[in-house]
Structure 1
Amino acid sequence: MLQGETHWVNETIYNCHTICDLLNAGTWQSSLELVVSWLDRHPYDVVTWLIVNSAFTKVENYIPAIQNSGIARYLYEPEFVPQHRDQWPTLSEMILSGKRMVLFMDYNANQTAVPYIMNEFTHMWETPFSPVNQTFPCTQQRPPHLDEEKARNQFMYLANHNLNTAVDINALIGGGNRKNVLIPNTADINQTNGQFDTFGQLEAMSQNCTEQWDRPPNFLLVDYYNLGDPKPGSVFEVAARANGVTYNRRCCGFGDQSAAPIVRNSWIVLSVALVFAVLLAA
């Protein structure tokens, strides 16, 4: 799964974090075109994209980029609205049908108007967002007031495991009022992305969630997926273990890793997070 924050600026959807004046990673259409190219070259893979609609713009504004990018031919359209966890096709069925691109949107999805962009929070719930607590409690936060039995039996779930640190901006630049912003905690990133059942590590969170909810998370959200303990690839070790398979790929990213110890692929830089799927629900 890929997750990216988007904004509606000058009649165009852009990949921007917070505001486009601070960080603009280009148009959303250009990102879709990269994914189309990847899907063309990997006919046996399924990709999910979680659109963060930070501008709360109407979902119809996303249609031109979808049509112009060529990704429409790959888009999966659900049979049910909403589609419960046990109603999804298998990965093999999706691959054979050619409908291998799944789109979710956090806010302002409208499946009556645009059926192939699914409402995130009628299909999955999330653990606490932007966590600053290294215990990473596996409690349901969004959507609020979701019935626990429904969450357990009908919804998929996404575990946020991207540790953040609160920084007082006024303490840095001067000012009277305390104003905290959250930034990724890179000092502890190797521990956070670790593959062991140790405090603060991804494997510990995965095991805790599995015990608490009787199944692993469907998605694990991490920062800097190319870093970890004991080595790069630890996050994929955790995902593989949750699927009952062995991770045997080369990690991570593109090009010379020694020259870029912290890698953020250009088309997901806006969210500084890569979400990868634990594909048990399908």
Structure 2
Amino acid sequence: MRWSLALALLAGVAWAEDSSTSTSSSSSSESSDSTTSSSLALSDATTVTDASAAVPTGSYEVYSTTITLADGDHLTSTITQNSSATTTGNGTVVTTTHNSVTVLVGGAGTTTLGNSSMNATATTSSTSTAVATNTRPCNSYAEYCGRSYSNITMVAAHNSPFVRKGNAAANQEFTVKYQLDDGVRMLQFQVHNQNGTMELCHTSCSMLDVGTLEAYLTTVTEWIRNNPYDVVTLLMGNYDYVSPSHFVDPIKSSGLYDYVYTPTKIPMALDDWPTLSEMIITGKRAVIFMDYQANQTAYPWLMDEFSQIWETPFSPTSRAFPCTAQRPPGITNVQAKNRMYMANHNLNIELNLGSIDLLIPNSAVLNETNAVSGYGSLGKMARNCTAKWDRPPNFLLVDYYNDGNFNGSVFEVAAEMNNVTYNNQSCCGTASAAVPGMSTVTVSTMLLVAAGVQFFLSAF
């Protein structure tokens, strides 16, 4: 009995591998976008449906008016803050002084993005002095220097710290340093409170614990320090809904606080954000969001995600990837168009093995999920989102960013959204960082087999 169940699981995995091989050789043209995806049968008793995972329950901040900040961390006006529980390229770089802020400006000509346009050249200023051209200006593109933070599409690493070989709960193949080197500019992850220590765990610390928040942030801070022309965003999941005060010490002890950006308003509307050059010149190049329990009246720089960013459906298991606003619940189209947004494009398989209910990346179709075009692709979703909302997504949240229809395909999509040219020779990671001779698909499916066999054997 137990061996037949294990063999059934193996058969399901073999089907996934065969599917991956066959689909990778099929056409990825946009004409295939109408294809209907089928569920992945892991065994006779376990079938993955096309529903997204249950949305986390948490409190969403509601601001009745805007707070104006002065001197970085101090409030200049008071408001009523309500919290309601809901279940549901070539450019010459110059400096320009304007309003006492020196900015970098690079790139020639006018770039149109969605329904908005920006001029990336120097404009009227009190003083203008030519300086040496930077080799990596403003997140590696001179064109970004004159754009606002909210007018750029960034690749986001879903569960960035979780890079554990041999663990099914991992979501990335390369460590955070490689992620940043390759061009990832948003790092998303879960944080758990383990007896007062903020730990990076995926779902459960007994399943995958990759160390402390402070240690991870120390590595991020070192990268930021060594890359002075880059702005990095962190999105922290407050898994246990603890007070934001628990996050302050790790952020300060890691050195990250020295680079943290403090907004000028609470919350920041789409047009309130500074240009990347302003953030770079002032040295405030780390933007931190937290999903739940943020208290910006106490910690203005630890920003509440959902009053400033909305998300498409959470942890999707369907390849349809609709570009609808799911979190925060009840957001209107008018509100959505005045905030940044994140496209959740990390495709999952839902495993129901007895008492275990786990979402893991659907590695079998990564070459399609992270592709530039085709059904279920990141490129297709980004274009759909741009058409629907008249502007591209700000953040493209993906698993295994290095996999796709070619190395760096996710960055190609972001470059398209930003109307710049991506150099695909720069990606991804190093050969020594991966499991030798094994693809991500192979690793994940072997883990799936091991987990299933272990579970069924222990059940008898």
TM-score computed with the length of structure 1 as normaliser: 0.87
Contact 2:371 2:410 in 1 (8 A): yes
Match for residue 334 of structure 2?
Answer: 149
Structure 1 runs of 4+ with >6 Å offset: none
Q: Secondary structure at the match of 1:37?
A: helix
The aligned amino acid for 1:185 is: N
Q: Secondary structure at the match of 2:206?
A: coil
Match for residue 164 of structure 1?
Answer: 348
Match for residue 262 of structure 1?
Answer: 440
Could you tell me how far 1:183 is from its partner in structure 2? 1.9
Match for residue 247 of structure 2?
Answer: 62
Distance 1:110 1:258 in 2: 41
Q: What's the % identity of the aligned pairs?
A: 50
Q: Are residues 1:213 and 2:389 paired?
A: yes
Match for residue 258 of structure 2?
Answer: 73
Contact 1:125 1:143 in 2 (8 A): yes
Distance 1:34 1:167 in 2: 33
- CA distance 1:206–1:68, change in 2 (3 Å): same
Residue among 6, 22, 39 paired with 2:207? 22
Match for residue 112 of structure 1?
Answer: 297
Q: How many residues align?
A: 253
Q: Secondary structure at the match of 2:360?
A: strand
Contact 2:372 2:412 in 1 (8 A): yes
1:7-43 CA-to-partner distances (Å, cap 9, x unmatched) read: 0112111100111111101000001100111011100
Match for residue 185 of structure 1?
Answer: 362
- CA distance 1:31–1:254, change in 2 (3 Å): farther
Higher relative CO (Cα under 8 Å, sequence separation at least 6) belongs to 2
Q: Are residues 1:203 and 2:357 paired?
A: no
Contact 2:363 2:440 in 1 (8 A): no
Distance 1:83 1:119 in 2: 10
Distance 2:234 2:429 in 1: 18
Could you tell me how far 1:244 is from its partner in structure 2? 0.6
CA RMSD of aligned residues (A): 1.5
The aligned amino acid for 1:236 is: F
Distance 1:14 1:110 in 2: 21
Q: Which ranges in structure 2 are unaligned for 5 or more consecutive residues?
A: 1-185, 442-460
Give the 5 Å matches for 1:91-110: 91-110=276-295
Q: Secondary structure at the match of 2:221?
A: helix
Distance 1:4 1:254 in 2: 23
Could you tell me how far 1:255 is from its partner in structure 2? 4.2
